[in-house]
Amino acid sequence: MSAFPIKVQPLSARHQPSIQAFTCGVKFMDDYLRQGYALEESNFARLFIAVDAADKTQVTGYYALHMMHIEARQTPAPLSRNLHRDAVVGAAHIVNFAVRKDLQGRGIGTDLFRSALKRIKGISKDVDTWAVVLDALNEDAERFYRRFGFDTLASNTRRLYLPVSAIA
């Protein structure tokens, strides 16, 4: 648990007032959160909101999960029977990690990371989900994710993946 205790809840109407004032310092991430309802309605992603454990009306951060498919442009070398014959697998994409600017550096981001991994591990028991995918915002973030076994998904991007078996 972090120095600043949080709870993580699926996005709901009661988060709305606090979302309007939320800023993490990265505009596209703030915009993404404010678009939350529209995104959920179009079935793009599910948002999970961090709130202050002591005052659950206060939004302190968020992440979003989006199911995606990863496939080979051409079928690669022989695959075991465990994997889909067409080499298409489901993956859970963690879209953003954002922490309210004035609360950064207190472990909230790490707690959100734990929450997302736990949730994805749970999903993977029921649905075809083979990997976690996320995008590192910068080199520091990339180094952070690599420590846990994440590797670059496509050689020319900061998009990283981890097989779900590697989630503790």
Q: Contact between 16 and other proteins (CB under 8 A)?
A: no
Class of residue 156 by CB neighbours under 10 A (exposed 0-12, middle 13-18, buried 19+):
exposed
DSSP state of 86: T
Calpha distance 106→120 (Å, rounded): 24
Residue with tokens 């703030």: 30
Per CB under 8 A, the list member of 30, 35, 37, 89 interacting with other proteins is 89
In angstroms, what is the minimal distance from the CB of 102 to other proteins? 21
Query: Judged by CB, which is closer to other proteins: 106, or 119?
Result: 119
Per CB under 8 A, the list member of 79, 102, 127, 128 interacting with other proteins is 79
Per CB under 8 A, the list member of 3, 17, 20, 149 interacting with other proteins is 149
Query: Judged by CB, which is closer to other proteins: 104, or 110?
Result: 110
Q: Between 20 and 49, how does the x/- string for binding to other proteins read (CB under 8 A)?
A: ---------------------xxxx-----
Q: Which residues of 11-23 are buried (b: 16+ CB within 10 A; e: fewer)?
A: beeebeebbeebe
In angstroms, what is the minimal distance from the CB of 98 to other proteins? 17
- With CB under 8 A, what is the number of residues at the site for other proteins? 54
Calpha distance 143→155 (Å, rounded): 15
